[in-house]
Amino acid sequence: MEATKFVLAAVLGLTLLSGSIFAAGKKIVVEGSTTVLPIAQAAAEKFMDMNPEANITVRGGGSGVGVASLIDKTCDIADSSRPMKDTEVQKAIGRGVEPKAYVVAMDGIAVIVNPSNPVNALTKKIVKDIYTGKISNWSKAGGLDLKIVVVSRDSASGTFEAFGALALGGMKVRKDALMQASNQAVANTITNTPGAIGYCGIGYLSDKVKAVPINGVTAAKMTVLSGKYPYSRPLFMYTNGEAQGTIKQFIDFILGDEGQKLVEEEGFVALKDNK
Q: Are residues 194 and 254 in the same domain?
A: no
In a domain, 271, yes or no: no
- Residues 20 and 112 occupy one common structural domain: no
- In terms of domains, do 151 and 257 share one? no
How many domains does the structure of the chain reveal? 2
What is the rounded distance in angstroms from the CA atom of residue 187 to the CA atom of residue 173? 18
Does 171 lie in the same domain as 142?
Answer: yes
- What is the extent of the structural domain holding 131? 108-226
For residue 39, being part of any structural domain is answered with yes
Q: How far is CA 247 from the centre of its chain?
A: 20
One digit per residue, pLDDT tens: the chain, 275 residues?
Answer: 333 333 333 322 333 333 333 444 478 999 999 999 999 999 999 999 999 999 999 999 999 999 999 999 999 999 999 999 999 999 999 999 999 999 999 999 999 999 999 999 999 999 999 999 999 999 999 999 999 999 999 988 999 999 999 999 999 999 999 999 999 999 999 999 999 999 999 999 999 999 999 999 999 999 999 999 999 999 999 999 999 999 999 999 999 999 999 999 999 999 976 55
Residues 61, 139 share a domain? no
* CB-side neighbour CA atoms (13 Å) of 45: 13
Residues 122, 80 share a domain: no
pTM exceeds 0.85, yes or no: no
Of the candidates 10, 4, 9, the one whose C-alpha atom is nearest the C-alpha of residue 22 is: 10
Q: How far, in Å, are 6, 88, 95, 116, 131 from residue 72 at the CA level?
A: 23, 11, 8, 45, 34
Q: Are residues 77 and 179 in the same domain?
A: no
Residue 124 inside a domain? The answer is yes
List, as one string, the DSSP characters of 142-207: TS-S-B-EEEEE-TT-HHHHHHHHHTSTTPPPPTT-EEESSHHHHHHHHHH-TTEEEEEEGGG--T
Q: Please list, residue by residue across 195-228, b when 16 or more beta carbons sit within 10 angstroms of its beta carbon and e when fewer do.
A: bbbbbbbbbbbeeebbbbbbeebbbbbebbbeee
Q: Are residues 28 and 135 in the same domain?
A: no
Pair 68, 101 in one domain: yes
Please tell me whether residues 39 and 81 are part of one structural domain.
yes
CATH number of 185's domain: 3.40.190.10
Does 122 lie in the same domain as 76?
no
Residues 160 and 219 in one domain: yes
Whether 272 maps to a domain, the answer reads: no
